[in-house]
């Protein structure tokens, strides 16, 4: 069974039922109970995690809140924020380093109950493919946005001290870190990982290739193996195919970029559905879409398909962009801004203009 955030809470409450009853009975004595209780929870996991446990257990919240106050620990609830307001605040910060919000925005689906909560900083980068998976699947989820200046107090509660993280992914209170693990997990849960064992293996192979090349091992769209900016001033297809290249080579970034894109162009040429595998998009299609969408931005190479002789990639981008859920997402306020490096400076992009004061 796939847990929703709510069913996970119910599960935890039932597991903690006996404890909750004892705590309710003891609530009159919260003053003396408080400090040891918080110390116990804090020792068992950590204070931030304890704060999250506390927020999801209404039965014991009163007791523990008093306990927290008594011990000087105030677990701050993470507030919900309107997505348009979040966008204004993010752009107003000018760059990632100035952001200080810690709030949740509701995303995906038709406004139903959230099934997942994804934590990330206010940018696209490593949380974009997990988001595209949930958006394409029409799955309601929460995005917990941690501004860079708020990160210091959140970091220690993350399994590996980094984001993205999928909160309580198993309904038993555990968090899942690592972009690629989150991507594969969500894709499997939401039916975007391939339709047979063999197809899933093939999708995984191409995703690993995608991650090594077009994603530069996770360092986004501008690195040693692939760089959208390196292609701005290139005209025509240059360099060998990826298969002809040695792993260690002296080719330019532009040549390596075109070689990697060529693998996807060829793969699409063999497909009779317009997707990389099967009859519907999988997570590797969404990853490729994300890269091509960025490549086609006005300040990169909007005419990349004609310029480099990649007709299949051009058609693929158009087709993916027209998918209703993706189209809705890209035009929504919940989409985080693009940025340029160095400096992680926010910049507007297609469908996601910087808000004006009249909005
Ligand atoms: N291999 C990890 C890398 C995660 C990572 O480096 N995340 C950055 C944000 S993109 C982070 O958490 N930085 C804050 C820090 O290092 O404290 C993954 O793919 O999830």
From 97, 119, 121, 126, the mutation candidate for ligand 1 (largest count of ligand atoms within 8 A of CB) is 126
Q: Could you list the pLDDT tens digit for every one of the 359 residues in the chain?
A: 445 665 555 555 454 455 444 444 444 343 333 333 333 333 223 333 333 433 333 333 333 333 333 344 555 789 999 999 999 999 999 999 999 999 999 999 988 999 999 999 999 999 999 999 999 999 999 999 999 999 999 999 999 999 999 999 999 999 999 999 999 999 999 999 999 999 999 999 999 999 999 999 997 668 999 999 999 999 999 999 999 999 999 999 999 999 999 999 999 999 999 999 999 999 999 999 999 999 999 999 999 999 999 999 999 999 999 999 999 999 999 999 999 988 999 999 999 999 986 54
- Determine if ligand 1 sits within 6 Å of the CB of residue 125: yes
Q: How many CA atoms lie within 13 A of 91 on its CB side?
A: 20
For residues 149 and 121, state if they share a domain: yes
Separation of alpha carbons 33 and 65, rounded Å: 11
Inter-CA distances, 68 with 20, 56, 61, 64, 179, Å:
16, 15, 10, 6, 33
Give domain status of residue 353, yes or no.
no
**Contacting residues for 29 by C-beta, under 8 A, at least 6 apart:** none
Whether residues 175 and 220 share a domain: the answer is no
Pocket lining: 155 vs ligand 1, CB cutoff 6 Å = yes
Neighbours of 119 (CB within 10 A): 23
**In which domain, by residue range, is 45 found?**
5-71
Domain assignment of residue 296, yes or no: yes
Nearest CA to ligand 1 atom 2: 178
Q: 111 and 50 in one domain? A: no
CA-wise closest residue to 234 among 215, 219, 253, 251: 253
Q: How far is the CA of 161 from the centre of ligand 1 (A)?
A: 8
Query: Tell me, what CATH number does 148's domain have?
Result: 3.40.30.10
Domain assignment of residue 36, yes or no: yes
Q: Is the pTM of this model over 0.75?
A: yes
Q: How many domains does the chain have?
A: 3
Asked whether residue 352 is domain-assigned, the answer is no
Which CATH number fits the domain that encloses residue 255? 1.20.1050.10
Which of 159, 189, 219 is at the close of a domain? 189
User: Which of ligand 1's atoms lies nearest the C-alpha of 162?
Assistant: 12
Nearest alpha carbon, ligand 1 atom 18: 178
């Amino acid at each position: 069974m796939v847990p929703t955030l709510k069913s996970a809470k119910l599960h935890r409450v039932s597991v903690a039922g006996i404890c909750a009853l004892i705590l309710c009975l003891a609530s009159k004595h919260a003053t003396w109970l408080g400090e040891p209780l918080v110390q116990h929870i804090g020792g068992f996991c950590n204070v931030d995690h304890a704060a999250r446990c506390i927020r999801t257990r209404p039965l014991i919240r009163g007791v523990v809140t008093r306990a927290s106050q008594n011990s000087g620990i105030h677990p701050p609830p993470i507030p919900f924020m309107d997505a348009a307001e979040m966008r204004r605040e993010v752009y107003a910060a000018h760059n990632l380093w100035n952001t200080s919000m810690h709030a949740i925005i509701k995303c995906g689906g038709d406004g139903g109950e959230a099934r997942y909560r994804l934590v990330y900083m206010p940018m696209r980068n490593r949380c974009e493919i997990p988001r595209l998976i949930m958006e394409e699947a029409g799955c309601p989820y929460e995005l917990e946005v941690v501004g860079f200046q708020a990160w210091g107090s959140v970091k220690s509660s993350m399994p590996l001290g980094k984001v993205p993280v999928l909160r309580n992914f198993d309904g038993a209170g555990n968090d899942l870190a690592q972009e690629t693990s989150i991507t594969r997990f969500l894709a499997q849960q939401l039916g975007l990982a391939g339709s047979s064992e063999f197809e899933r293996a093939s999708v995984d192979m191409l995703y690993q290739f995608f991650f090594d090349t077009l994603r530069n091992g996770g360092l986004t769209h501008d690195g040693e193996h692939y760089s959208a900016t390196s292609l701005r001033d290139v005209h025509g297809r240059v360099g060998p195919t990826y298969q002809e290249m040695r792993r260690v080579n002296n080719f330019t970034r532009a040549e390596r970029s075109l070689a990697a894109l060529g693998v996807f162009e060829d793969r699409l040429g063999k497909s009779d559905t317009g997707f990389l595998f099967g009859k519907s998009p999988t997570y590797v299609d969404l990853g490729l879409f994300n890269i091509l969408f960025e490549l086609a931005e006005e300040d990169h190479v909007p005419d990349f398909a004609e310029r480099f002789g990649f007709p299949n990639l051009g058609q693929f981008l158009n087709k993916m962009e027209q998918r209703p859920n993706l189209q809705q997402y890209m035009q929504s306020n919940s989409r985080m801004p693009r940025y340029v490096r160095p400096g992680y400076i926010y910049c507007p992009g297609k469908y996601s203009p910087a808000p004006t004061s009249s909005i």
